[in-house]
Structure 1
């Protein structure tokens, strides 16, 4: 870990960096520098734009010259190193000069924080030091794998965010649920509200005063005590698929927050050591050409192995019609 100070930097803002706040720009450029330190630099006028003092909410313009003073770049936590960046590079599904889609592995957060020293965004930035701009377009839960979009230009980020707001982005997931789901499409429209429980654990529940949320579940394959479904999101609430599946009476396999411990135990005996939720398909209009882009991510080998074991050793249906037995 480098514990020295950086040299004075003078950076000229390009078109793709224009429009962002100076504090957010510095947080991205000065990786590992505490946020409090960055705001102190701004308050004391040590960061200058076009040789003048600026406030933290100043929005950069193309051609601005930003002077960044020497500052300790030692991170409080170890950085991601090259290995996570190489792992993600090997899992890139689509890339052009405006965006990329990566098959995020289960167990890796999309960004650092909450005790995590790095996530997908930090690892990719670390493996691409020449990239002037790289931002998450949307998020996936840490234990969810699959298609994740990152923007390489601010204009692409704005365009893709607009598609998300207008529900023009098609996001589909494979999920393994407890019990045998009825054939056809099962629609769940149940508002969701986020709560904070003891210890700071974030939970989401169905509540009348929550935000509108809609998920469609369609059966793909079924066994007596489990169902593989495709879940289509029409809104993007936290833990939406997991909570809606539990609300439907068919909680997700491997879900230790909203799921069924007995069902999880049965699936663990068949090799499942994670949440069975995978973002297998995403489609959107390309921000430059307008053409429809479709990207798919196949199930990881561990999830395919669980399905193969269900074929050879299916979960039996218990008397309540849902819970399986070992």
Structure 2
């Protein structure tokens, strides 16, 4: 398993349209190419070094205004909107992390597709998709530093930090809007490989169980099956049986947080290496076989671009997961 290189803290270059913390209130006009971007992401790209939690706080308090009115974090900007950005005290600023050469090279080597405004990356496990919640630097920040000439780089969808595999990133606003529309309408093809502990129930191809997010006192986010949760559906296909586990393909019909992991736990077969939803006893059994991470991998993505071109990208299984499967197959023969 390739480890994620450490970050290198340094002051990032400040773009010409970034907020100057030494000044007072500023008013930024939204250009055409940024129309449709969420206000929180717009601010994050301009308030360099300001923690994401601080950005959400000034939004909640109404210190940020769009066309003189309050907006929520999910508000999508319109070309010509005038955004009021308040001053941020120097004490609340931190140096913006900069990706080191090793991390940039890892991300560069993980690019599977880059054409017509769409990028598909085989994200390594352990790399968050964006900074925030204790994570100073994520995939999207690394990409923006790698391509400083690109004015637009946004995530199309997300993957959990511990999940590896194919993730789509848009380099054009039109591509983001088109592919996300497909995503909302269930037209995007996303398939995962997962190793479920125990014997997957024969004939269990569909799991429909409502999911609800909970935040523990520690601040940890957990998801559970609950009658009052959001409707959630995952399609599973049994691929290979082992003595202690089952390799399955999982296709999420809906896109809830931790959906595949919780649905697998719901049928009695939690995923190997899952520190949130699998017992320590079960995980210890897989650690003795060399597994040091969650066995969940985004194996392929499929979408259509605004031009009508169809894109289908497969992400190779990481070497450490392939090694575990080989070990499990040998146990079958013995």
Pairwise TM-score range, normalised by the shorter structure: 0.7 to 0.9
Question: Which residue number corresponds to residue 122 of structure 1?
Answer: 141
Return the TM-score normalized by structure 2.
Answer: 0.80
Give yes or no for contact 1:223–1:314 (8 Å, CA) kept in 2. Answer: yes
List aligned pairs for 1:242-321, cutoff 5 A. 242-286=261-305, 288-314=306-332
CA distance in 1, matches of 2:270, 2:41: 39
Give the match's secondary structure for 1:290.
Answer: coil
Change (3 A) 1:226 1:13: same
Gaps of 5+ in 1: 317-326
CA distance in 1, matches of 2:179, 2:238: 29
Question: Which residue number corresponds to residue 163 of structure 1?
Answer: 182
Please point out which of 219, 232, 246 is paired with 1:227.
246
1:20 offset after TM fit, Å? 4.1
Give yes or no for contact 2:12–2:98 (8 Å, CA) kept in 1. Answer: no
1:157 offset after TM fit, Å? 1.1
Question: Which residue number corresponds to residue 22 of structure 2?
Answer: none
Give yes or no for contact 2:64–2:85 (8 Å, CA) kept in 1. Answer: no
Give the match's secondary structure for 2:321.
Answer: helix
1:282 offset after TM fit, Å? 0.9
Question: Which residue number corresponds to residue 324 of structure 1?
Answer: none
Question: Which residue number corresponds to residue 321 of structure 1?
Answer: none
CA distance in 2, matches of 1:292, 1:8: 37
List aligned pairs for 1:58-137, cutoff 5 A. 59=77, 61=79, 75-76=94-95, 78-137=97-156
**Is 1:31–2:48 an aligned residue pair?**
yes
Instruction: Report the structure number with the largest CA radius of gyration.
Output: 1
Question: Which residue number corresponds to residue 17 of structure 1?
Answer: 34
CA distance in 1, matches of 2:13, 2:33: 28
CA distance in 1, matches of 2:287, 2:199: 19
CA distance in 1, matches of 2:94, 2:198: 47
Give yes or no for contact 2:43–2:55 (8 Å, CA) kept in 1. Answer: no
Change (3 A) 1:315 1:62: farther
1:267 offset after TM fit, Å? 1.1
CA distance in 2, matches of 1:125, 1:99: 14
CA distance in 2, matches of 1:4, 1:285: 35
Size of the aligned set, in residue pairs, is 308
**Is 1:173–2:217 an aligned residue pair?**
no
Q: What do you get for the CA RMSD once the two structures are aligned?
A: 3.5
Change (3 A) 1:5 1:118: closer
Question: Which residue number corresponds to residue 188 of structure 1?
Answer: 207
CA distance in 2, matches of 1:4, 1:226: 46
Give yes or no for contact 2:10–2:95 (8 Å, CA) kept in 1. Answer: no
Give the match's secondary structure for 2:230.
Answer: coil
Deviation larger for 252-261 or 98-107: 252-261
Please point out which of 215, 223, 226 is paired with 1:204.
223
Change (3 A) 1:296 1:86: same
Gaps of 5+ in 2: 1-8, 19-27
1:39-66 Cα distance to aligned partner (Å, 9 max, x none): 69x9699xxx9xxx977769463799x9
1:97 offset after TM fit, Å? 3.3
